[in-house]
């Protein structure tokens, strides 16, 4: 049966963090669509300084579970997405990014010159914030994953409790100091939708103009 399309607001309200999964694999076309939607996420200067390692093998998922102190999500979910942030991506010419943006009419000559200057990235390096910047961009992409997963009828869970060195070893990037593990997101099918744990009232967490004490 064809899945009914969800609005953005419905997708946001229906998304849940799911920690237990059915063993059913995610069909390749569905996983491909999920990844394509994820890669539509924005990043600073469109640098796209984040990558995803898709782990579906039993051995790989077992390694990730061990890296996550035995959490069951990677063992049960048929796919775990590891979001890798590259703090040195800006150092490459990245001419393909600028060429595509100009071809699409998104960037003019002035903006392209700013992109080529890398002025903001030099400032980030001076302030030792390159890693933080790349991790932020990876986290934006991970958020797209979780919302897209919901829209595609999938369940997901962000994971933020793991040993980064063990995760790096599991995906073959041990010793790569310029690469950071931003987050893991498990993806699969859940038998049941967990209840919403609730959120604090907007009035307690949203402020106008200035932060309230």
Mean pLDDT of 1-26: 87
pLDDT in tens, 177-190: 999 999 999 999 99
Mean pLDDT of 81-90: 98
pLDDT in tens, 50-59: 999 999 999 9
- Determine contact, residues 73/157, Cβ cutoff 8 Å: yes
Does the structure show a pLDDT above 60 at 81? Answer: yes
- Determine contact, residues 137/85, Cβ cutoff 8 Å: yes
φ, ψ for residue 83, nearest 5 deg: -90, 120
| Segment among 11-20, 91-100, 112-121 with least mean pLDDT | 11-20
**What span, in angstroms and rounded, lies between the C-alpha atoms of 7 and 21?**
25
Please provide the size of the chain in residues: 213
pLDDT at 4: 66
| Segment among 110-119, 124-133, 165-174, 188-197 with least mean pLDDT | 188-197
Does the structure show a pLDDT above 60 at 1? Answer: no
Mean pLDDT of 151-168: 97
- Determine contact, residues 18/190, Cβ cutoff 8 Å: yes
Closest CA to 84 of 42, 34, 137, 32: 137
**What span, in angstroms and rounded, lies between the C-alpha atoms of 133 and 127?**
11
Output the pTM of the full model: 0.95
| Coil/strand/helix, residue 93 | coil
Q: Which H/E stretch holds residue 13?
A: helix 8-14
């Amino acid at each position: 049966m064809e899945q009914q399309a969800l609005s953005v607001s419905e997708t946001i309200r229906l998304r849940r963090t799911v920690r237990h999964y059915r063993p059913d694999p995610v069909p390749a076309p569905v996983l491909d669509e999920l990844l394509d939607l994820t890669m539509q996420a924005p990043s600073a200067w469109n640098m796209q300084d984040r990558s995803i390692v898709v782990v579906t093998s039993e051995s790989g998922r077992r390694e990730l579970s061990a890296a996550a102190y035995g959490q069951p999500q990677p063992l049960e979910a048929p796919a775990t997405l590891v979001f890798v942030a590259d703090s040195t991506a800006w150092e490459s010419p990245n001419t393909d990014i600028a060429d595509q943006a100009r071809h699409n009419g998104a960037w003019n000559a002035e903006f392209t010159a700013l992109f080529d200057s890398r002025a903001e990235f030099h400032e980030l390096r001076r302030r030792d914030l390159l890693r933080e910047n790349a991790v932020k961009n990876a986290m934006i992409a991970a958020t797209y994953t979780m919302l897209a997963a919901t829209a595609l009828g999938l369940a997901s869970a962000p994971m933020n409790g793991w040993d980064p060195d063990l995760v790096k070893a599991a995906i073959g990037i041990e010793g790569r100091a310029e690469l950071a593990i931003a987050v893991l997101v498990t993806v699969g099918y859940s038998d049941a939708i967990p209840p919403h744990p609730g959120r604090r009232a907007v009035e307690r967490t949203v402020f106008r103009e200035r932060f309230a004490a």
